Structure 1
């Protein structure tokens, strides 16, 4: 294969890239019912039908397609032929430090900032004007009146900004993510005056909603993506997760807004909360371990959207292509990011077509990381019970911590049909220590002589 062709295919298989609705690599995963629902429709209908503001919580493991679903949702809700809402899409990766604890003040200040920017752009203005006399400027003025010392923290931060309040306003935008001193100060102020702060944000959002309606929209919807990536570091993951739990469970009433809003949340929180929509994996096996052909067919379609059939014949060999894709699908457990990541791994190999033994080797190598996580968890007896029962039941704090950690690291996968169930990633389900009822995916799916 020519180098430029190989390079193009390799980059079409970027596992970390969220696809926009118009991307030619998109697959309508839900048309065969392999995730238990049509997820864009499931998320949209409550907002479309309700005459009062809706607050939704949405989660799923990283790489299952949440961001793609949210972009589809944004396109649908903003469609003038449908709900015709002004859509505000916020990516937490861009505006928050996701390795540290989160606070209500972070979320609401960013909601206000990004909503004002979206309204200004819709009005034909400049989003940078959000730093002057609008809601964000009034927020900064309120913070400065409440704590006169806060201005000193941002002094000189933006050397290109005009001295005084304008520089401070620029400073708050630039540094809520990167300046921990400022972030702590804002949190302290809001924590002391929480009701006043929440009422201020609500009043400003109501005015922004009115401005959106003046433009012919029927209101505003805010989609706050990537908050599910809150995971801290190996040392801080627990307090970071606990901070998210505080604001999305006990603090959830403060996050209900006078406009429609959807927040993504860490998947571990879905176990201890109600009314959370959890995006499942593509079902390639049912809860009893039987093959689900429709799921394999959807994954085959996903693969062919990334790599055309001529190239696939060259990479895997025409006679073995069906079996190779089936092996990848079953090894992945229906996990979209793993499928795309494995395609990149295959494209890195030196020689095509890829034979059975080579693919087996790559699948074993890809599973090593998952097996290491299991050994490090110290929860093998409990995980063996999950493997047998397909239920995520915890009876003590140690098991709860293990469940959180293993969910966050994609060892435990979630599925939906009429009922929900969980399963272990196939690379660990066959471990002798877990005594699973089904054989390892590589042994079960790579047919001899294929």
Structure 2
């Protein structure tokens, strides 16, 4: 018969004894729950894979999906996608090539990797990638339009490459019907200057899930603009890695949610090189029952990013009852040697003083409210840098405002801001 060894004991102040543990308290995982589970500690540590089978089924409880209506697009996260080539239109521009390339193209996978199942599903399925390649130091602009994607579940992959010292504006114009999951890779060579504008003016029933991955080289500058106006569910998530010393990025967002629309943006900026700079400004308006917007802004200043200068902000203007705006800025800093870093978030209704000022000069209340909304959103539009597109977007905003019979004098927004 074996005999268990006697436990060491420790005297207590009252004279009794307690068993003495042979390991440090708290150094052993609990027996209940997920044994040994350690949560992700920083934004860059999230699991990544290009294989959809590596991700669990989407439940809506995941950090990346908890604010999204996941039940409305299970065909994009769990179903089979059509990865075939689709119709596009663009006018020829000197210094820009637009081609379809094979999955074996060396550029694929160099800007980023999916962190969620919808993106991985698209990555696993696309047959050819649409490659837009920019060269030459002269400024140029090209618009690539997609308007015939149909209503079937579809996958896509886009590459936008700016060669060293090149400069251009690339506009991705989205119209018509769609049920689309896609990945867009943006690659900036040394000292290049690239503006990428993604315009979502889908039909009312469209669903669009897209992840933009950007890698910005030494002394290069990326201006990335997201404009979401049309569609039922539109989720555009830009991730920018400032990979080269002296790299710079300006991320702008403009959105206008009507009744029943869900417009979402999850922005991530990773300062991974010294003396890099980033500015993030997203502004949106909401009107109509169940209009919903989501903005999550993550900035990570890595331990190699000495001399970083970073600031992000989100502003939402609520125009009617029954809307909801979620605004969540996050900032992680892993080095103390920075120029500056900060974030801000605000959601509210009209500024009564602005309205009073305009009405005191003979402007009707309804027109005053429209002027305030246009002024609120114009800050973003005027920074795009394409006069023709800026004018067209101003007209689109005016049409959105006129689609409502009136703008109420006071609202109480449902707000989630942290």
What TM-score does the superposition give when structure 2 sets the normalisation length? 0.24
Larger RCO: Structure 1 or Structure 2 (Cα < 8 Å, ≥ 6 residues apart)?
1
